[in-house]
Structure 1
């Protein structure tokens, strides 16, 4: 399906959702009207028939009216919920359209505060931040899922087994559009009903991982004995066999000891309340995954086993937790709670049960959340693949002759109507590419195109190519080097330090070979020193443990092809017709035959000699 047809299909789906929402809103208005009529009918029945009909008929009529009103309220609530979820489904589909059109305003922003200046490639290849690959691909609703996806995209040491496993899972998930969208809708609905006071998943895990409080048995034994003693003495005092002072003394001892042991029940209500709230939020999400039929997708079935196995599935533990937290939340009832604890060590008993539950529940919740976050990250890649059907899954090889080969390779962050694709191949022994070309001809973009597709490939995602096969590489870039006022570094010195890091990484032959990208080498210094430095650097890196692409404006460097066997010249060129400049953005063999700096200056009215 073409991109245009996909957009039209999604737009029709949004229109269908809007029509369905209108019908449900009509139902909602009717329910509101009927509920109002029912309420006043109950009041009228109660007022006008009081004392005029048989008491049993009167009570029966009131009960029927109340049950009918509650039924209508429940149905009305379900309609409201359906309307809200349809709104979120429309939002999901609209974001699909925005991702296809690269309409950044329609794609939720992803916040990332860590400093990436020392990362091997994330900043230069637009992996993270606004208008980045992560921004475009990530459909996660939870921080854990978003972070896991980012870790895959930023992985500096790819592992073939992990990549192949993710590829298989993404391929299993691509056809499951309804499953992915429903998961997203449930998540959005759940988050919209979350209070700022509610614990996050991290806070819940921190609480569950606290050291287990012990020493409950002796206080429970003593309190139980005092409770039985108080009740027995109270009974005997009531029938006149003991003075009233006896049960009062026993009760005072019970309350005093309860007070001394209060540290063991501290935080019970808050913890029970927060656990109940969090499980309520995640319940529908977990059950949706638990009840989903995987059919013949073995990799996906293995991933979801933790949700669907009889021993570990959430529904079993949710019932157990809800039963306990319900009892432990008795403190919410300020009338019943004091009376119960006055005669029974209720809070003490359920604090002990809660401590045991923490020990049992923590590993389960940790496993569910870790797997759910992985599923969210995989769903992001699957959605990326579903929206870009022309993209392909790369083939990972260990070829000793062809190290990298791509057909119609494009940049996924360039709009389709502006994108130009290229074929590119790296062969053993010819693995250093010197790319020359005029300003704006496409050198930097091509370096980023190869780099960003390697990141997609090693994350387990489809790549923007008709076909791509590659060996495993570490990726390193020196493209968007920035100076540092705080550190007192000039642009040139910052670039020198970056290239020093590149040499160090190339010297480590115990790790994977490096695929490195250097844009406008030594552009921060004068022509003579830039040429000398670039010449020495290219000679140094040639034949080292990796593949390199280096762009430059210095056409004189093209002569190094005669001195460096591993180096080959490539270029991007432009044409000027009728005073207008046009670019083909196609990479070609050989050094660039033209320059355009003076032409651009002249076209813009600057003096040129």
Structure 2
């Protein structure tokens, strides 16, 4: 764990806690003030009634209501600030937990796991203690899907370079990152944005011009006639007709209002959060440019996204008020409340129909980029790889596995060479062969997603990774281990045939058959891969396979991991070396559990 990074997060937590305490005092103070307002209002109203003064009674009630509403509004503002700073503290606490190797509070991406994918299962890309769990700082469903897509599909050179530049820009502003995270985090269930986007396309038509004019004027007519009714009884007729007309309009437009409510009901809190996120995006020059580009051709490129999303939140919140018992009917009588705000909402949809899908696509991209930038901030010693167009290419200095803790991680150098090779990795049990294969694969996934890699330096070309490691049988599907291996090999050959640049990582092939067939089969498979001009690594315990270097000089190379043995004690250095392994430890490992193979005749 980097000491300066840890210190930064602890300082942010302390700052947030001070602000939380301050806002709590405000919230508690306004609670007492609300109680005082109620008691004072009751007293004033009672005093006016005692003096039999109708006007004073009405003024006392109205004044109490207005004062109470103002206090509630101010208190709600402080409640929101308290909750925001609480979330801000949670953001920093989560980063400390992640640095300490504890679980990330964001999704681990288990729903994206797929054993049939070319590499995600073998390289621990999704699930608990996975690469996705290390990276993810996405709150919205769309962002989670996009980040998962980046890890499943390597990008081309230009796209990788674009992401790297944006990640560097975001990583330089930790304050902006944490504000953005805190704004988007919510304990509430997220609104289904895809359903919302689809439903807005079939939003009901608004009001005709005459009805719209009446709805705008009805509250003014109602309250003027109500005021004049104290002096002219004829005004009561106007008051009654206006109220009745409002009720008629609400009933007449009820089907449209109901449909609108089904589409936008209960989205206001989410939209307020999203408007805050868009406001932050607009304040960041790099992300603002990304947002402007995303809106090109949508018909909404001239609008301020945060402003329009906030308008949508406010309109949908007002429409929700019309459904509240007692309050809703009164507002509908006074001012045709539901019709008024349905009309405003219909107009908003008509003006901004192309806005939301494109804007939220950029929001998802921003969250995915932010995830990569947090990784870089938490690991400032990691580097952005150079991605080159010529293929195949891979050179790494001090390459380590990103999911292994810093204090136990071992680093290795590796170079693919100028023309590409098949590298045979031999070695003792537990010496590090499988981990090294995964180290190569997972860093390639990071690099081609646009993220920094766990290395001092790295250069690679854009290629497709394919792994053959965790072969699983299935009783339900009647698939034995050997059959599962054959299926994976068939997929590998097909994948190499269909894709131009593939780098494969094979860990101990044909483990589900006898040793003689295993050797002959493994040798034949590697020969076939050579004939297909395949490039990759094969880890094996079978030393006979290493003889292929002699028959395919310049194409097959031998590397190994070994151990040091001292009085039956084994020492692992986990360092990659050129050549063939000559030290093995199976007998010692068996002896540790009480089995001595030297006594077997």
- Offset at residue 312 of structure 1 (A): 2.6
| 1:201 equivalenced with 2:193 (yes/no) | yes
Q: Which residue of 2 aligns with 1:467?
A: 457
- Offset at residue 489 of structure 1 (A): 1.0
- State TM-score, norm by structure 2: 0.82
- Offset at residue 206 of structure 1 (A): 2.2
Q: Which residue of 2 aligns with 1:242?
A: none
Q: Which residue of 2 aligns with 1:245?
A: none
SS in 1 for 2:123: coil
| Counterparts in 2 of 1:379 and 1:393: CA distance versus 1, 3 Å | same
Structure 1 unaligned regions, length at least 5: 225-247
| 1:481 equivalenced with 2:471 (yes/no) | yes
Q: Aligned partners of 2:495 and 2:26: how far apart in 1?
A: 66
Q: Which residue of 1 aligns with 2:490?
A: 500
SS in 2 for 1:334: helix
SS in 2 for 1:576: strand
Contact 1:38-1:69 within 8 A present in 2 as well: yes
Q: Aligned partners of 1:448 and 1:150: how far apart in 2?
A: 18
| Counterparts in 2 of 1:40 and 1:365: CA distance versus 1, 3 Å | same
| Counterparts in 2 of 1:22 and 1:567: CA distance versus 1, 3 Å | same
| 1:414 equivalenced with 2:409 (yes/no) | no
- Offset at residue 598 of structure 1 (A): 0.4
Q: Which residue of 2 aligns with 1:118?
A: 116
Q: Which residue of 2 aligns with 1:573?
A: 562
Contact 2:426-2:542 within 8 A present in 1 as well: yes
Which whole-Å deviations, capped at 9, do the CAs of 1:344-383 have from their partners, x for residues lacking one? 9x95x98787666545433200111111011111111111
CA-based RMSD: 4.0
Contact 2:13-2:92 within 8 A present in 1 as well: yes
- Offset at residue 219 of structure 1 (A): 13
Q: Which residue of 2 aligns with 1:161?
A: 158
Structure 2 unaligned regions, length at least 5: 216-240
Q: Which residue of 2 aligns with 1:244?
A: none
| 1:587 equivalenced with 2:576 (yes/no) | yes
Correspondences of 1:136-535 after superposition (within 5 Å): 136-155=134-153, 158-188=155-185, 191-192=186-187, 194=188, 199-210=191-202, 267-271=259-263, 273-274=265-266, 276=268, 278-290=270-282, 292-294=283-285, 297=286, 300-305=287-292, 311-318=302-309, 321=312, 332=323, 333-335=328-330, 337=332, 347=339, 357-399=348-390, 403-429=393-419, 431-508=421-498, 511-535=499-523
Q: 1:599 is matched with which residue: 583, 588, 591?
A: 588
Q: Aligned partners of 2:6 and 2:130: how far apart in 1?
A: 21
Q: Which residue of 2 aligns with 1:98?
A: 97
Contact 1:573-1:583 within 8 A present in 2 as well: yes
| Counterparts in 2 of 1:130 and 1:572: CA distance versus 1, 3 Å | same
Of 431-440 and 537-546, the range deviating more from structure 2: 537-546
| Counterparts in 2 of 1:434 and 1:269: CA distance versus 1, 3 Å | closer
- Offset at residue 503 of structure 1 (A): 1.7
- Offset at residue 411 of structure 1 (A): 0.6
Q: 1:129 is matched with which residue: 124, 127, 131?
A: 127
Of 170-179 and 108-117, the range deviating more from structure 2: 108-117
| Counterparts in 2 of 1:426 and 1:404: CA distance versus 1, 3 Å | same
Contact 1:429-1:543 within 8 A present in 2 as well: no
- Offset at residue 59 of structure 1 (A): 8.4
Q: Aligned partners of 2:353 and 2:493: how far apart in 1?
A: 46
Q: Aligned partners of 2:456 and 2:79: how far apart in 1?
A: 46
Which whole-Å deviations, capped at 9, do the CAs of 1:235-272 have from their partners, x for residues lacking one? xxxxxxxxxxxxx9xx99x989x97x976665234335
| 1:3 equivalenced with 2:2 (yes/no) | yes
Contact 2:180-2:280 within 8 A present in 1 as well: yes
Q: Aligned partners of 1:381 and 1:14: how far apart in 2?
A: 22
Contact 1:443-1:551 within 8 A present in 2 as well: yes
- State TM-score, norm by structure 1: 0.81
